[in-house]
Structure 1
Amino acid sequence: MPELAAHVRDVPINQIREITEAAWRTPGAVVLSIGEPGFPLPRHVLDAGIACLDRDETNYTPNAGIPALREAFAARFREEQGVDVGAERVYVVSGAQQGLHFAMSLLLSPGDEVLIPNPGYPTFAMTGRLLNAVPVGYPLHPDHGFQPRVADVEALITSRTRVLVLNSPSNPLGAVLSEDLVRELVELARRHDIWVISDECYEAFTYDVPHVSPARFDGGTAEDARVFTSLTLSKTYGLTGLRIGALICPPGLGQKMDNVMESIVSCVASAPQYAALAALTGPQEYVRHAHRHYRENRDAASAVLAAKGIRYLPAQGAFYLWADMSHVTGGDVRSWVRRFLADSGVALAPGTAFGSIGEGWVRIALCGRKQDLLEGLSRLPGAGGR
């Protein structure tokens, strides 16, 4: 067969999927490697999707999504972040990953550089490479609480840099960027005239600190605006399989975004859009319940790690714990998590799935049942006197 394109051959494997799919093939495995909310969906959300199918509303929708859903996303963003966003800037997408792909498709030409967090979510690099761009990791170091330092980011900017990717609350770290740091990073992007893509998948889940969107500090005019905001309902409402989210674009890009939507997906399926509308505008008890559950699981898991002497990053957001297992990984955490699954029946995401600085660390998902979480963590080898 003919050879695949070089940029496709260079896309790295997603190590999260690698270990998780191995766990799904392992009878009785405790799967702590993937962020999959475990609650039943609210009945009114399911009913809205079913009603759409029952009335046979299965034709194309507008490229950007049904108007009521675009306005619901905009209204939520205005309420939560105090940013004056109109529905015309909201594009309904098949999950945050598609929104990320759309944004990068608009902004990156072959050979352009995109600055991504290291450690950071693996598809930041995967999507960049798929578009013939060059991902450049900016360091998030343990001795700085895995927070970006503006000077470190600025030192990596070259004439080829086009995009800065921010992610708060962070997957995999659970770290949350402060208001001052978010402002400084947006100002950095403005000084160097580069775009910002803000991944805010976990915006609903912060603990004792606020979520601050970079859009708060975006330019007041179309000429100065530079922030794309990627949102999803996968985590907030557990709609992972419905693949529904939104990309909030700077003003003035409507026709260009329509063209990108048409060339990649045309439009998102209608039933998930109506389910999403019901989720955003209906009762919010699911979100409140999920927030309580994730916080309780975070606290319980943190206590287990502390008792075992395992260093971890206290999570301020999302639903993960980032734990240092370097005392047993031997410098190859990817191999160690596979051995640990085989020996102990527990799946953890290896830190190297998220970048080179993740060597020796693992990501622990907190979103499942507490008893499964605690059982899995009980099998971790302790760090002794550390």
Structure 2
Amino acid sequence: MRVSRTAGAMPHSGIREIVNRVIELPGGRISRLEIGEPGFPTPAHITRAAWDAVPRGVGYTPSTGTGELREALAARLRRVTGLDLPASRVVVTQGAVQALSALAEALLDPGDDLLVPDPSWPNYEMIGRMRGASVTRYPLRASAGFLPDPDEVEALITPRTRALVLNSPSNPTGRVFPQEVVAAIVTAARRHGVWVLSDEVYDELVFEGAPANAVALDPETVIGVYSFSKTYAMTGWRVGYLTAPARVTALLSTVQEALLSSVSAIGQYAAHAALTGPQECVARMREEYRARRDLAVRRLTGAGLRIAVPHGAFYAMVPLAPGADSRLAALDLVGHGVAVAPGSAFGDTARDHVRISLSVAEDVLETGLDRLLSWGALTGFGAGLGRAAGA
């Protein structure tokens, strides 16, 4: 009795390895900086809309989302990004990760190649491999401030390349790509007939610079992927969306039916309330994240660390000693009372970094930074945890 070789070969998430180590430890013992969970409750007007929906009755919805929510999403894209696209080009999904999974089903065949950033959210690579695609990484080097080189990205495109992932603001680096960089990558993709999957789930969490807004550059080449999770602190509600050319959304109607039938109706009511209700909560959370970013940068640079200042999202990459094994460092740091994500969880380029989340409450962040810097003083930021030692 066989199981899927593709699924069996899938590596476990390096982030989840740390999460699973600390999740059941007594509260307060570990400062949890390893996961990107918004440090705020879902705003009250959103949860109230979900409660109010229940007595009206909830059932199946269209596979691509309710017409009311899709119209509100099209209006949101016009307001925030300037895109003037019909609601028929918007598809509601079960979070951004399911949007990307559906797109992999719609766009990739086994043997195709998917280009992803390195470092990047590990699910990109997992989703591509689950579809039977090969995955090629384009580097975001610390020496270049974790920004891509468009010429280097284009040089990696081959006749087998079907799509490339763009993510700005970036997880895990928090970097916001300059508009000319985004435009150059989109132009290169169009030249080679390659889809661009622009993950913009942090598009309203930008402190300096501007969101990628890559769809506006070429709505027939770029597919935008968005989410309510980070903007509205709705991670557990599992509602995301995408905008794509009409022939892709037509395919996705069938793909969505096969994958999940429809997104939770209650979640869609809540998402509609998020879009049409007061938006001050978004600005307030963004300013809190900015303050936490400033605190972390001040503490880390004050300790002599050279970091690429995050200009969006709520993450920062912290350098270890050159050649240090970030997985071993992250495991060791748990014993010192702080959980971080190893850079190796995000690819090869930042294996001697760890990612910290800035989304947590300020006192948790302060304590976590204290413990991280104390550990760094003891170990030389993992100088003794070389890659050879972890082999």
Task: Give the structure-2-normalised TM-score.
Answer: 0.93
1:358 to 347, 350, 375: 350
Structure 2 unaligned segments of length 5 or more: list them.
382-391
Q: Which residue pairs with 2:6 in the alignment?
A: 7
2:327 to 328, 334, 337: 334
Residues 65 and 268 in structure 1, CA contact (< 8 A), matched pair in contact too = yes
Residues 103 and 228 in structure 1, CA contact (< 8 A), matched pair in contact too = no
1:239 to 223, 234, 238: 234
Query: What does 1:77-96 correspond to in 2, within 5 Å?
Result: 77-96=77-96
Question: How many angstroms apart in 2 are the aligned matches of 1:276 and 1:197?
Answer: 22
CA displacement, residues 43-72 of structure 1 (integer Å, 9 cap, x when unaligned): 110111111112222x11011111111111
The aligned amino acid for 1:195 is: W
The aligned amino acid for 1:332 is: D
CA displacement, residues 347-368 of structure 1 (integer Å, 9 cap, x when unaligned): 0000011000111101110111
CA displacement, residues 213-237 of structure 1 (integer Å, 9 cap, x when unaligned): 1101115xxxxx1211110000000
Q: Which residue pairs with 2:31 in the alignment?
A: 30
1:136 aligned counterpart, secondary structure: strand
CA-CA distance at 1:21 after TM superposition:
2.0
Residues 343 and 354 in structure 2, CA contact (< 8 A), matched pair in contact too = yes
The aligned amino acid for 1:164 is: L
Q: Which residue pairs with 2:259 in the alignment?
A: 264
The aligned amino acid for 2:19 is: T
Residues 91 and 249 in structure 2, CA contact (< 8 A), matched pair in contact too = no
Structure 1 unaligned segments of length 5 or more: list them.
220-224
Residues 90 and 249 in structure 2, CA contact (< 8 A), matched pair in contact too = no
- Report percent identity of matched pairs: 42
Question: Which deviates more from structure 2 when the two are superposed, residues 144-153 or residues 161-170?
Answer: 144-153
Question: How many angstroms apart in 2 are the aligned matches of 1:161 and 1:254?
Answer: 21
Q: Which residue pairs with 1:46 in the alignment?
A: 47
CA-CA distance at 1:26 after TM superposition:
2.3
Question: How many angstroms apart in 2 are the aligned matches of 1:193 and 1:272?
Answer: 36
Question: How many angstroms apart in 1 are the aligned matches of 2:55 and 2:337?
Answer: 43
2:51 aligned counterpart, secondary structure: helix
CA-CA distance at 1:301 after TM superposition:
0.8
2:246 to 247, 251, 255: 251
CA-CA distance at 1:5 after TM superposition:
1.2
Cα RMSD (Å) of the superposition? Answer: 1.6
Residues 10 and 129 in structure 1, CA contact (< 8 A), matched pair in contact too = no
Equivalenced residues, count: 376
Question: How many angstroms apart in 2 are the aligned matches of 1:258 and 1:55?
Answer: 26
The aligned amino acid for 1:162 is: R
Residues 111 and 132 in structure 2, CA contact (< 8 A), matched pair in contact too = yes
Q: Which residue pairs with 2:75 in the alignment?
A: 75
The aligned amino acid for 2:209 is: V
Task: Give the structure-1-normalised TM-score.
Answer: 0.94
The aligned amino acid for 2:139 is: P
CA-CA distance at 1:326 after TM superposition:
2.4
Question: How many angstroms apart in 2 are the aligned matches of 1:274 and 1:31?
Answer: 32
The aligned amino acid for 1:377 is: L
